[in-house]
Amino acid sequence: MRPRKHRFVLLYLLAFAGLAFSAQEPQTPIGPVWWPSPWGAKDERGAANRLTAERVKSAASLIRDGKIYQLGRLYEHGMPLPGKRHFSLTIPGSPTGGPVGKNKVVHHDELVSGELGQVGTQLDGLGHIGVRMGGDDYFYNGFRRSEFGKPYGLEKLGIENVGVFFTRGVLVDVAGFKGVQAMKIGEVITVADVEGALKKQGTKIGEGDVVLFRTGHGQLWMKNNELYGKGEPGLGMAAAQWLCDRKIVMVGSDTWATEVVPHENPDRPFEVHQLLLVRHGIYNLENLDLEELARDRVYEFAFVFAPLRLKGASGSPGTPIAVR
């Protein structure tokens, strides 16, 4: 009888230890706890920490003929806007001021309103997406909204922390790889798609890279805005995790969300955003124009983008460029 009792006690202790271990590593709606960051418990830059001086010099060496590709869209009235977001630019009076002085100088100003970091070509910052848990919202590095979410700007994870992106860029032309003008709405970019496109192009993805996906969906921009916003082809979770494993710094696309919409799992919307931004601190750049890059078959280039230093903002507009 004693051996059985001993076995029972041992099993009990092992079960208790397992519960204690589980208590130390609680699960979340998006998997295991993701903090502290590899760059420390106070880090607010995420994957931008991979933008070292060596990677800047290496990216500069990719510039051969100095041709510049503007990858950003025009910020204009009537451009596609998700949900109820808005954008407006007006000139308050023409001229706004003047004439003044004997030289009769006049000037124009502009008044801009809108969710400036989340319309048009936009960079999603680390304060953009979070996860609701236990009555609070958790973001990159475990920062809680109750501690930093303020109405006049986020007190942590603001876009001003990011700095300048100057690194190697890689275009993954998935539409070109599939031999189609444009992928279909709801079509998932798989790991096989990414690896197949890279093999066809003769390119590889490395740590610190910016990876841009062309689906062809961007050709609808300002031509059929309703269809553009209805849904999109894009990354599935497996391909997104594949990118995270390669320690990239940013992903971008010619779509408005980068990930596939409708989502792979209807009960888990925008899960790729959470994987990239929340779990790995990898930035997301949306609504790009990648057609000229694809036409010229420019698959590797120096990528440059400087987010506006909007203190406390969740994202930034701007004009990313590729230089070959």
Q: What is the DSSP string of 99-128?
A: EETTTTEEE---EEEE-GGGSSSEEE-TTS
**27-81+117-323 in CATH: which number?**
3.50.30.50
CA distances from 18 to 24, 27, 77, 298, 299 (A): 10, 14, 58, 53, 49
Q: Render pLDDT for 17-58 as a digit per residue (tens, 0 to 9).
A: 443 433 444 589 999 999 999 999 999 999 999 999 999 999
- Structure-block tokens of residue 160: 């001003």
Instruction: Look up residue 179 and give its amino acid.
Output: G
Instruction: Look up residue 307 and give its amino acid.
Output: P
Rounded to two decimals, what is the model's pTM? 0.91
Residue 20: predicted pLDDT = 40
- Beta strands, E only, 35-173: 68-70, 87-90, 97-100, 105-107, 111-114, 122-124, 131-133, 136-138, 165-173
With tokens 């060496």, the residue in question is 61
d(CA 247, CA 46): 11
Domain locations in the chain as residue ranges? 27-81+117-323
Residue 87: predicted pLDDT = 97
Taking 70 as the pLDDT cut, the residues of the chain under it are 1-26
Phi, psi for 160 (deg, rounded to 5):
-65, -15
Query: 177 near 202, Cβ under 8 Å?
Result: no
Q: Render pLDDT for 217-234 as a digit per residue (tens, 0 to 9).
A: 999 999 999 999 999 999
